[in-house]
Amino acid sequence: MLNIYKERDINDSYERAKELYGSFGVDTDRVLEDIKKIPISIHCWQGDDVGGFEVDADGVLGGGILATGNYPGKARNAEELRQDLDKAMSLIPGKHRVNLHASYAETEGKFVERDELEPRHFEKWIAWAKEKGIGLDFNPTFFSHRMADSGYTLASKDKEVRDFWIRHAKRCREIGAYMGKTLGTPCVNNIWIPDGSKDLPADRMGYREILKDSLDEILEEKYDRRYLLDAVECKLFGIGSEAYVVGSHEFYMGYALTRGTLLCLDAGHFHPTETVSDKISSLLTYIDELLLHVSRGVRWDSDHVVILNDEVFAIAQELKRCNAFHRVHFGLDFFDASINRISAWVIGTRASLKAIMMALLEPTHLLREAEDNGDLGRRLALMEEFKSLPFSAVWDKYCLDQGVPVGAEWLNRVDEYEKQVLSQR
Ligand code: RNT
Ligand code: ZN
């Protein structure tokens, strides 16, 4: 059923699409080149439900991060996780990156505390990435740990707790810089902390001042931007931090602006009617680079598998219209333990790439021309018409050229992998 894609048909459809887009002044061959230069950072944590592989780990997810479901076959160690990532990446067109958390260190069966992690604990990941010719990104892990049980880490009023996490974050920057240097592409090291309060705090400001000081201490050491890029990520609320989150949007926006870090926008971390897409142009007026956590919020959950929905498309569209693809780092951030985890990666990454490709194919100059001429009816009419241009013919051609399955054919490969590999775990 899924093997209906024939090379000749794909090429024929592409030629017709090329002509049509060409009549609107868009060069599809160029889009096929441009999209190759936009890597997506694929998050390792979808592969094992954000569990990580720490020896003697407390074992429970914390800090408001919750993966639900128990679909069989999850990766039990880093080898399996890499194998699964290899499989997922073989079904996604283009060359991408992989995003790791500190809790995915490989410590050869020995317990290593988070404030003692070193680059060598990531040697296998780095060697794997090097062999594949891809970059790595990184995150300190401020959750699922007894030192985070109070609900506070970098913003803790307990100096012992705070200092532990400061040491951890410093180690992570060192590890990230090492990854960036070794792999020849800057590693984006993203700080997200769960700190907040279930119910009304009496000292909103106190925690924020502490967090600012902790971050300043962490960032004291300067690294070459060719190796390491620091990012900070805000959140509106989490499970157990409904009333107050120390690292709010305003907090980190101010921080990034005054300290020169990247700002991370997670699509699931705002009020439901508030969109990340509308923030991009405002922030890029003042900030050089952004990190995006492409995600999908559903009610209280901020991390459903990304699909090609209005917001993902709007984000890509904004980047095209702001001519800002080179100022943004695309990262994925979702985790669903109730479906095949390889499928989750492939669905989310392919959806993000489709959004990017649709945006790249947009005849933006015609929209702007109509707008500048004050012809707003024409602008709206063109926006609507552009939605039904034959984007899928260009997408299929891209998959074909990149040697990955076209259309739903990738599901056959996931089924095979599930039978041969996942079901044996
Ligand atoms: C949590 C943040 C954060 C995490 C990852 C695992 O709400 O979105 O980015 O999802 O670090
Ligand atoms: Zn996130």
Do strands 262-266 and 228-233 pair parallel, antiparallel, or not at all (unpaired)?
parallel
Structural domain ending residue among the three candidates 343, 361, 379: 361
In-domain check, residue 237: yes
In-domain check, residue 334: yes
Nearest to 333 by CA among 154, 160, 101: 101
79 membership: H or E segment, kind and range: helix 78-89
pLDDT score, position 2: 59
Q: Are residues 43 and 60 in the same domain?
A: yes
Q: Are residues 258 and 115 in the same domain?
A: yes
Q: Are residues 348 and 395 in the same domain?
A: no
Angle at 49 (CA atoms; ends 250, 292), nearest 5 degrees: 35
Ligand 2 center–CA 333 separation, angstroms: 5
Structural domain ending residue among the three candidates 320, 338, 361: 361
Whether pLDDT at 395 is above 90 = yes
pLDDT score, position 58: 59
Whether pLDDT at 4 is above 90 = no
HSE-up of residue 260 (Cα within 13 Å, Cβ side): 7
In-domain check, residue 34: no
Global confidence as pTM = 0.97
Q: Are residues 373 and 242 in the same domain?
A: no
Whether pLDDT at 103 is above 80 = yes
Please check whether residue 325 is in contact with residue 7, taking contact to mean a CB–CB distance below 8 angstroms.
no
Tokens 């000292």, located at residue: 203
Residue of 96, 101, 121, 293 with catalytic role: 293
3-class SS at 21? helix
Please check whether residue 44 is in contact with residue 105, taking contact to mean a CB–CB distance below 8 angstroms.
no
Whether pLDDT at 59 is above 60 = no
Report which bound ligand comes closest to the CA of 241. 1
HSE-up of residue 340 (Cα within 13 Å, Cβ side): 20
Query: Residue 64 — very low, low, confident or very high, per pLDDT cuts 50/70/90?
Result: confident
Whether pLDDT at 127 is above 60 = yes
Asked if residue 336 has its Cβ within 6 Å of ligand 1, the reply is: no
In-domain check, residue 255: yes
Mean pLDDT of 89-99: 98
Asked if residue 335 has its Cβ within 6 Å of ligand 1, the reply is: no
Asked if residue 302 has its Cβ within 6 Å of ligand 1, the reply is: yes
d(CA 319, CA 341): 29
Ligand 2 center–CA 316 separation, angstroms: 18
In-domain check, residue 31: no
In Å, how far are 11, 127, 369 from 29, measured between CA atoms? 12, 34, 23
| Total domain count, the chain | 2
Distance of CA 220 to the CA centre of its chain: 26
Cβ burial, residue 282 (10 Å; 0-12/13-18/19+) = exposed
Asked if residue 236 has its Cβ within 6 Å of ligand 1, the reply is: no
Tokens 């620091």, located at residue: 230
Which DSSP string corresponds to 222-263?
---TTTEEEEEE--S-BTTBSSEESS-HHHHHHHHHHH--EE
Q: Which atom of ligand 1 is nearest to the CA of 64?
A: 7
pLDDT score, position 66: 86
Which of 176-185, 293-302, 313-322 comes out lowest in average pLDDT? 293-302
Q: Which atom of ligand 1 is nearest to the CA of 45?
A: 6
Q: What is the mean pLDDT of the chain?
A: 96
Mean pLDDT of 259-287: 97
32-54: pLDDT as tens digits: 999 999 999 999 999 999 999 99
Please check whether residue 257 is in contact with residue 287, taking contact to mean a CB–CB distance below 8 angstroms.
yes
Percent of the chain predicted with pLDDT > 70: 98
Q: Are residues 264 and 345 in the same domain?
A: yes
d(CA 291, CA 393): 30
d(CA 212, CA 221): 16
Mean pLDDT of 321-347: 98
d(CA 203, CA 89): 46
- What is the CATH number for 280? 3.20.20.150
Listed in sequence order, the DSSP H helices in 108-155 are 123-132
Q: Are residues 17 and 99 in the same domain?
A: no
Beta bridge partners of 41: 97, 331
In-domain check, residue 272: yes
Q: Are residues 240 and 346 in the same domain?
A: yes
Cβ burial, residue 376 (10 Å; 0-12/13-18/19+) = exposed
Backbone angles phi, psi at 137, to 5 degrees: -120, 170
Tokens 């907090």, located at residue: 251
Report which bound ligand comes closest to the CA of 245. 1
Residue type, position 173, single letter: R
Q: 386 is in which domain, residue-wise?
A: 1-26+363-425
Q: Are residues 228 and 284 in the same domain?
A: yes
The question of whether 86 is a catalytic residue gets the answer: no
Q: Are residues 3 and 141 in the same domain?
A: no
Nearest to 207 by CA among 155, 253, 245, 257: 155
Residue of 128, 192, 345, 395 with catalytic role: 192
Structural domain ending residue among the three candidates 311, 344, 361: 361
Whether pLDDT at 200 is above 90 = yes
Report which bound ligand comes closest to the CA of 266. 2
* Structure-derived torsion over alpha carbons of residues 353, 283, 213, 102, reported in degrees to the nearest 10: 0
Q: Are residues 348 and 421 in the same domain?
A: no
Q: Which atom of ligand 1 is nearest to the CA of 235?
A: 7
In-domain check, residue 154: yes
Backbone angle region of 324, left / alpha / beta, with phi > 0 → left and psi within -120 to 50 → alpha? alpha
Please check whether residue 406 is in contact with residue 2, taking contact to mean a CB–CB distance below 8 angstroms.
no
Ligand 2 center–CA 328 separation, angstroms: 15
In-domain check, residue 296: yes
Query: Residue 5 — very low, low, confident or very high, per pLDDT cuts 50/70/90?
Result: confident
Q: Are residues 59 and 187 in the same domain?
A: yes
Listed in sequence order, the DSSP H helices in 260-340 are 277-286, 310-321
d(CA 347, CA 101): 21
Q: Are residues 184 and 255 in the same domain?
A: yes
Distance of CA 206 to the CA centre of its chain: 31
Ligand 1 center–CA 333 separation, angstroms: 7
Whether pLDDT at 1 is above 80 = no
Ligand 2 center–CA 297 separation, angstroms: 11
